Structure 1
Amino acid sequence: MTGRWGGELARLDLRQPDQRSCGAAVLVLAEALGNERYARRLVAGGRPRFTAEVLAMHRRVTSAVDVAGRPQLPWWRAVGTPPWAVARQLSGRTGVPHVVRALWPRRRSRLLAAVRAAVLAGHPVPLYVGTARLPRHVLLVTGAGPQPGDPLSVYDPALGRTRRLRAQELVTGSLSQGWAVPWFVVLPARLSPAGRRTRA
């Protein structure tokens, strides 16, 4: 996390409050990184404020109405946050349309370039990871080095902190920490490479 408020936020306990709120925690941090006023409130409120915001976000993005007041498909909170709900929340809060892209093996290099471009342009990127069968966890890519092979900075809500993810791990689909298989990224549409769109 970069910038003054990124540093302040990094000092908080940013662990997800329960087993199913990783996607909501990612959305709260993404909002804070792009909204100084919101970040100040989180920092001032500490862990209790972060927990309350995450639980409220989880209720909001799985309800029958999205952030813009439009109907959306409600979702079972017990199974987490679907990627299309994350895309709708980010689109509504940033004013930049976001899309869900599947990380199929042949597309990973191209999508990694789009992730880097998005992050360098100031757009944190949610990344769904899991087993070979199912996505199980959501991370947030918050930073990238200047060179294509440089590691990515990734917020992991299970740990409550940022860690490094080697670019090659994403391309090969074998992450060395936590869940091993990358499934989806949620990208700004204008920075996303052309290709088939998943639900968003």
Structure 2
Amino acid sequence: SAQLSAATHELNVGNLSTAASTGTGPIVAPAHTRNVQGFAVQGGLKINTPFIAPGDALYLQGAYGEGAQLYTGYSAYTGSYTQSTTTIQGQKFAQYFSDATINPFTGQLQTSTSFTAVASYLHYWSPEWRSAFFGSYGEQSFGQGARLAKGAIYNLVSGLAGSNPFGANAVGTPGTRFFNLSQALRDTYQFVAGGS
């Protein structure tokens, strides 16, 4: 069997003034942010493999989205809606997932893109016992120059998160250690594998 699906939704944040949030840096006149449409497409196949064992099946699925990340299945390890996660061995493992970012110089939305590819196999050892194995790969990319624009306009203080008034996930000033280590608006990829 095969399936194909698509989704669309509107992204709208209203009016934006970038100068008011920092109190420093260049003053940018308020700009009206135009609405944009996010979309995603997804396709899948189920291939029965009774020649291996009765009931066995291979599942393949792929998805691509612009401004509609959750529809592609790309997610943080703690779930799609968790914005700030717990730490792993003291290193914060957090990523802000965003359908779009606002270019602070133009006030316009720049959509992020994501895609995923998944393969899984269901195997029946006997009519009562079965196992499932799966693996996936995904990527997320923010608008071109999104990190640089945010860091440049907000002119944030580099250094430890405690000295930054904008929190641990602020982008930071380009060229600084804080900018290089910041997880905000960083293009990412992930491999996921499992079984039961």
**TM-score interval, smaller chain:** under 0.3
* Greater strand share, structure number: 2
Structure with higher RCO (Cα < 8 A, 6+ apart): 1
Between structure 1 and structure 2, the one with the greater Rg is: 2
TM-score normalized with structure 2 length = 0.22
TM-score normalized with structure 1 length = 0.22
